[in-house]
Amino acid sequence: MPDELKPCPFCGGEAEAINVSDTTWKIGCKNCHIQFGHSWLGFAFKENAIKMWNRRSDAK
């Protein structure tokens, strides 16, 4: 599913897509409140933010 987010890599908490403005998206953890985006700009498309958040390697 394209909108499915992996858990937070730091605490394992549930992640969510955050609409910062009309043209900016970030991903954040509901538990530890870390946010992921390109510096202060974020991502222009929700799908790109989700894709980059989920891109990391799984723990072995």
Q: How far is the C-alpha of 21 from the C-alpha of 14, rounded, in Å?
A: 22
Number of domains in the chain: 1
| Residue-wise burial string across 26-37, b where 16 or more C-beta atoms lie within 10 A, e elsewhere | bbbbeeeeeebb
Does the pLDDT at position 10 exceed 80? yes
Res 1 pLDDT > 70: no
pTM score: 0.80
Q: What is the mean pLDDT of residues 4-16?
A: 96
Q: What is the pLDDT of residue 42?
A: 83
For the segment 21-46, what is each residue's pLDDT rounded down to a tens digit? 888 999 999 999 999 876 667 889 99
Report the pLDDT averaged over residues 18-22: 89
- Residue 26's domain comprises 1-60
